[in-house]
Amino acid sequence: MNSEPKSPTAGPIEGDGGVLDADWLGACRRMVAAQRELFRAEPGIADRTIYAGRGEGGDRSLVIDRRAEDIVFGELEGLHADAGDFTAISEERGEVAFGDAGASAHVIVDPIDGSLNARRTLPSHALSVAVASGAAMDDVGFAYVYDFGAGEEFFARRGGGAFLGEAALRAKGPGYGLELVGIEAAQPERIIPILEGLAGKAYRVRILGSIALALCYVAAGRFDGMLTARGSRSVDAAAGQLIAREAGAALELPGVELSAARLGLGARYHVTAALDPELLAVLRPVQASAEPAEPVT
């Protein structure tokens, strides 16, 4: 008997009721199609290096960031009738209520995870969308990450497995230990302690410039592990963490349980993931050498 989870290629992703029962997969695919047109219309570095103030997350905002976010929020407005009330959390707009501001459901979006890559026309940047029945990282029930460089679609449903397109994902590598480790947040002064900690433990490192994609690469067995050199926001990790865990990877936010990790923009978390608990244990002391994350709020 084939025990592989079946890819939910169309229609709603059935969850535990409410917001998770809307057609999030279809909505995410429409977001991708519109964003692809946006990137085709703005193909050069100069076109993409136009700033528009600062987003609610504190970083400088690019015009292309805001236009990509407009596409996402247009789809969220259309979904509100079917999904019920929820609060959207986005790096640019912050928290936006769709209906009741006290609704328990949350939708966490990063229209361009890897904005610097997108601005410099490097291929590794992604759309990241996570749908949660509550306000904690562990409440995420549907996750979607689209890699615009490779044209790959990763998604997962809590308890229903993770997928790369039509294929079920398994966090399984060649079995050589920490042959390849991803590092995110690549400022030189931040990665030096990480590199020193990995010396003698990992064979090679890679830096994608996207936390969401690094987590998906662990889910796909492309990376044996990944870790962050500085604290990440929920918008960076909310979708990728579910995809990694549903693929069977071991994952932790050092210092905080997933059930206590809030989804608001004020919180920062380190993220460590590996193909199995043994490899995660090797990365744990390395992660501990990184710059401390900001307090959880």
Chain mean pLDDT for the chain:
91
Domain limits, the chain: 18-168, 180-288
Give the pLDDT band of residue 53 (cuts 50, 70, 90): low
CATH 3.30.540.10 fits 18-168, yes or no: yes
Question: What is the pLDDT, as a whole number, of residue 62?
Answer: 83
Reading the block at residue 107, the tokens are 């939708």
Question: What is the pLDDT, as a whole number, of residue 256?
Answer: 95
Straight-line distance from the first to the last Cα atom of the chain, in angstroms, rounded to the nearest whole number: 47
- Give the pLDDT mean for 67-87: 94
pLDDT at 80 over 50: yes
Q: What pTM value is reported for the model?
A: 0.92
Reading the block at residue 106, the tokens are 């949350």
- Give the pLDDT mean for 31-40: 97
pLDDT at 220 over 90: yes
pLDDT at 241 over 60: yes
Q: Which fold has domain 180-288?
A: D-Maltodextrin-Binding Protein; domain 2 (3.40.190)
Backbone φ and ψ for 148, nearest 5 degrees, come out as -70, -25
Angular region, 133: left φ>0, alpha ψ -120 to 50, beta rest: alpha
Do 180-288 and 18-168 fall under one CATH topology? Answer: no
Question: What is the pLDDT, as a whole number, of residue 293?
Answer: 82
- Give the pLDDT mean for 268-275: 96
